[in-house]
Amino acid sequence: MALLVYIAMVAAALASAASGELTADFYSETCPQALPTIKLIVGAAILKEPRMGASLVRLHFHDCIVNGCDASVLLDDTADMIGEKTAKPNNNSLRGYEVIDTIKYAVNTVCFGNVVSCADILAVAARDSIVALGGSWYDVLLGRRDARTASIDDANNVIPTPFMDLPALQASFQTLGLSLHDLVVLSGGHTLGYSRCVLFRSRLYNETGTLDPEYAAALDERCPPAGDDDALSALDDTPTTVDTDYYQGLMRGRALLHSDQELYRGDGGESDALVKHYAENPDKFWEDFGAAMVKLGKMSPLTGDQGEVRENCRVVNQE
């Protein structure tokens, strides 16, 4: 009888996979230890290096906006394919690949096989990073499969840059089916993390009209007019805590990146109103950020018999 019940549960899980549905309980029968294992390893990685939380969130974002959430961002280059890792927005910038490798190996072990996709690992690791650093829990929908290819050109063409003005940012998000509201909420992910001098030098020395003088003086010590391109500065005053300090900073001219300050231009527009709303309502930010991450995670996933579940997140499975 127990065997029949188990077979029925596995069949139900497989039926869900075949139907192409994303569900929060996708692995509840096929590998109930998958999500606790991911949470454990993410927590350990962040305890060792709190900055890693931001890196894992960013990996998921950069994966999803290039042809959907399919773990293409994790693929190493091959003789036949130049992938996304060396695209301009990612090269010497994205990190956390080794943490994903560790998670994949551990999950394959507790699942007694290759069950959990790399794309789902990215989605869960992002959520667990947000929660570990003070954000609110949200259910991650699961059941994605992994791409068999990646494209440096697609990454270069699609990923927004920190030099974009608001209209360009809106246009970039609109091509992905995301609204201005989504843009402002997802940009709140910059409540975590750091950026390199080379990405904010132009703002520091050319945008004094929108830059708080005290903040500019502090940045000047870390980011000279030339050299030290890789010197890091925090995206807000609390770079390892999920809070609304990011939005408060935009309203005070303390955005590190040009693209972030563009969300609050001081012209009373819709974007200004959204920034002010989240600066003053932390609970609403946490709620809406979780919903936006779920929406992001549903962008063009491979499901059913599309793609594959990679054994190693860095390479496609061998035939």
By annotation, the residues acting in catalysis are 62
Q: How far apart are CA 247 and CA 268, in angstroms?
A: 15
**DSSP codes, 190-246:** GGB-EEEHHHHHHHHHH-GGGS-HHHHHHHHHHS-SSS-TT-EEESSS-TBS-SSHH
- Indicate the angle between helix axes 52-64 and 97-110, nearest 10 degrees: 80
Q: How far apart are CA 225 and CA 245, in angstroms?
A: 27
Q: How far apart are CA 280 and CA 291, in angstroms?
A: 19
Q: How far apart are CA 282 and CA 296, in angstroms?
A: 21
CA 269 to chain centre: 27
Q: How far apart are CA 272 and CA 9, in angstroms?
A: 50
Q: How far apart are CA 166 and CA 171, in angstroms?
A: 9
Q: How far apart are CA 297 and CA 70, in angstroms?
A: 10
| Residues, the chain | 319
Q: How far apart are CA 276 and CA 229, in angstroms?
A: 32
Residue 268 CB-density burial (10 A; 0-12 exposed, 13-18 middle, 19+ buried): exposed
Q: How far apart are CA 19 and CA 303, in angstroms?
A: 8
Beta-carbon contacts of 32 under 8 Å, excluding residues fewer than 6 positions away, are: none
